[in-house]
């Protein structure tokens, strides 16, 4: 502001001097005299009048400068105010600190506040927004129940579909055992006779045994030999049948055998040959040619005591 005051005073002084022709440069002399037209000389203001004007203006200029100086803070004062603002830390009373949350307390102390961004969408909503099909595990995955061991009352005993195998009395079993022993002696004698007269033996027929079911089975091959007036039933070595309490060998007229005839074979159309000497292996039985001609359609393994068919061979 002092600069402005000085400049103002200089301007006023120069304005006053420029109006006085005596203030022009006295050293500038025209090189050639030129006629000067006569003019009315200007009257220069007197010095006392200029001084009076300056004296009137100076107090106003000084008063204005002092006002501006009071309004404008100095550079040092401004720096101190700025430093005080930047360095001063807010004070938090103990009473207010107790009511503030940890986040508000950290913000008031100037510490960086870290907040976790909470995603308002659930995983299902995000999947739907991305255009992917929602998978409901509760619907797609059936609930697996823990297996519960059934109690003895809840679990019924399995039905026994197999018929119990009948048994002979002691007397019947003894009688059958005696017949079976006699059959073994007889078939051994027949076998020796066939071997001795092999040249006189001719095969006239053959067949294979078929069983009825798993508990009444028969398999193997059979040949029918003719020797003079006798017919020999020769069971091959691969013969086998299920064991039974009272098994016999029969020859039968033509009839339909199978599972339906296990207990329904027509015994009246069959002819008894002998007790079965063994449930497996080679064996021979001799019958007359007349019996063969009357019943020689099939050879049957039959349980005589209880009427069960075990197997047959159609010839």
pLDDT per position as a tens digit, 141-151: 556 666 665 56
Q: Work out the pLDDT band at 306, boundaries 50, 70, 90.
A: confident
Cβ count near 194 (within 10 Å): 18
Structure tokens at 236: 């091959």
**Cβ contact 308:216 at 8 Å:** yes
pTM of the model: 0.49
Radius of gyration of the chain (CA): 73
The span from the CA of 88 to the CA of 86, in Å, is 6
Structure tokens at 204: 């006239």
**Three-state DSSP class for residue 67:** helix
pLDDT surpasses 90 at 52: no
pLDDT surpasses 90 at 131: no
Complete DSSP assignment for 132-153 = PPP--HHHHSPPPPPP-PPPTT
If you average pLDDT over residues 211-216, what whole number do you get?
Answer: 87
List the domains of the chain with CATH numbers. Answer: 173-314 (2.60.40)
Q: Which of 144-148, 203-207, 281-285 is the least confident region?
A: 144-148
Q: Work out the pLDDT band at 81, boundaries 50, 70, 90.
A: very low
**Model pLDDT, residue 92:** 52
Pick from 263, 262, 213, 207: which is nearest to 234 by CA? 207
Q: Work out the pLDDT band at 292, boundaries 50, 70, 90.
A: very high
**Model pLDDT, residue 300:** 95
pLDDT tens by residue, 9-30: 666 666 655 555 444 444 444 4
**Three-state DSSP class for residue 105:** helix
**Model pLDDT, residue 272:** 96
pLDDT tens by residue, 85-129: 445 554 555 555 556 677 776 666 665 555 555 556 676 666 666
The span from the CA of 167 to the CA of 287, in Å, is 29
């Amino acid at each position: 502001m002092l600069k402005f005051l000085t400049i103002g005073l200089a301007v006023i002084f120069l304005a006053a001097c420029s109006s006085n022709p005596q203030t022009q440069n006295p050293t500038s002399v025209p090189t050639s005299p030129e006629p000067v037209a006569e003019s009315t000389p200007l009257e220069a203001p007197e010095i006392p009048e200029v001084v009076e004007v300056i004296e009137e203006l100076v107090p106003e200029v000084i008063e204005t400068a002092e006002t501006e100086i009071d309004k404008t803070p100095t550079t040092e004062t401004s720096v101190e105010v700025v430093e005080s603002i930047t360095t001063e830390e807010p004070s938090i009373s103990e009473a207010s600190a107790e009511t503030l949350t940890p986040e508000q307390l950290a913000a008031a102390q100037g510490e960086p506040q870290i907040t976790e961004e909470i995603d308002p969408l659930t995983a299902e909503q995000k999947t739907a927004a991305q255009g992917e099909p929602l998978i409901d595990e509760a619907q797609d995955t059936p609930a697996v129940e823990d297996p519960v061991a059934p109690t003895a009352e809840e679990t019924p005993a399995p039905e026994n579909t197999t018929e119990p195998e009948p048994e002979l009395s002691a007397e019947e079993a003894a009688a059958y055992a005696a017949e079976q022993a006699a059959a073994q002696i007889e078939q051994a004698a027949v076998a020796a006779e066939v071997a001795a007269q092999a040249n006189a033996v001719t095969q006239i027929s053959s067949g294979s045994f078929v069983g009825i079911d798993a508990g009444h089975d028969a398999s193997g091959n059979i040949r029918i030999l003719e020797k003079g007036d006798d017919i020999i039933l020769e069971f091959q070595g691969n013969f086998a049948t299920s064991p039974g309490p009272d098994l016999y060998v029969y020859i039968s007229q033509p009839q339909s055998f199978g599972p339906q005839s296990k207990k329904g074979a027509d015994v009246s159309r069959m002819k008894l040959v002998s007790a079965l000497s063994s449930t497996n292996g080679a064996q021979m039985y001799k019958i007359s040619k007349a019996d063969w001609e009357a019943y020689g359609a099939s050879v049957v393994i039959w349980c005589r005591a209880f009427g069960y068919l075990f197997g047959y061979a159609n010839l």
